[in-house]
Amino acid sequence: ETGVTQSPTHLIKTRGQQVTLRCSSQSGHNTVSWYQQALGQGPQFIFQYYREEENGRGNFPPRFSGLQFPNYSSELNVNALELDDSALYLCASSSSGGQGGKSAFGSGTRLTVV
């Protein structure tokens, strides 16, 4: 089975710019969650997409937005980048089936804002 893939792996952007990060979910998974992991910290939940709709959101401003496509892949968009947005962005896909459902993380996109 194909795992979770994220692109690009690394990205450098200038403050104020916009960025789009992409995630292909693992085969058989219909839910995608995005996390931000700042240096030296644990991942923080940004939001989750299920059936192409946002289905839960963490404490992130509206300039963080996303999409899920019919094939369950997903995008994370961040507008008006700030220096503090520099982090590893992780995508996790999972399947329906309650708390015992399977999930998997991608290797992440390392975003640097200068």
Partner 1 sequence: AQSVTQLGSHVSVSEGALVLLRCNYSSSVPPYLFWYVQYPNQGLQLLLKYTSAATLVKGINGFEAEFKKSETSFHLTKPSAHMSDAAEYFCAVSDGANYGGSQGNLIFGKGTKLSVKP
- Using CB under 8 A, which of 45, 65, 74, 81 touches partner 1? 45
Instruction: Say which residue the tokens 């992780």 belong to.
Output: 90
Residue choice 13, 50, 65, 75 for contact with partner 1 (CB under 8 A):
50
> Are 21 and 79 spatial neighbours (Cβ–Cβ below 8 Å)?
no
* One residue of 21, 90, 111, 113 binding partner 1 per CB under 8 A: 90
Return the residue matching tokens 């094939």: 71
Q: Determine the Cα–Cα distance for residues 79 and 83; give it in Å rounded to an integer.
A: 12
Taking CB under 8 A as the criterion, the residue among 26, 48, 73, 86 binding partner 1 is 48
Say how many C-beta atoms besides its own lie within 10 A of residue 81's C-beta: 19
62 contacts partner 1 (rule: CB under 8 A):
no
Range in contact with partner 1 (rule: CB under 8 A) among 14-22, 71-79, 89-97: 89-97
Q: Does 65 bind partner 1 (CB under 8 A)?
A: no
Q: Quick one: tokens of 61?
A: 């401003």
110 close to 19: Cβ distance less than 8 angstroms: no
Binding site for partner 1 (CB under 8 A): 4, 6, 30-31, 33, 35, 40-45, 48, 50-51, 55-56, 58, 90, 92, 94-101, 103-108, 110
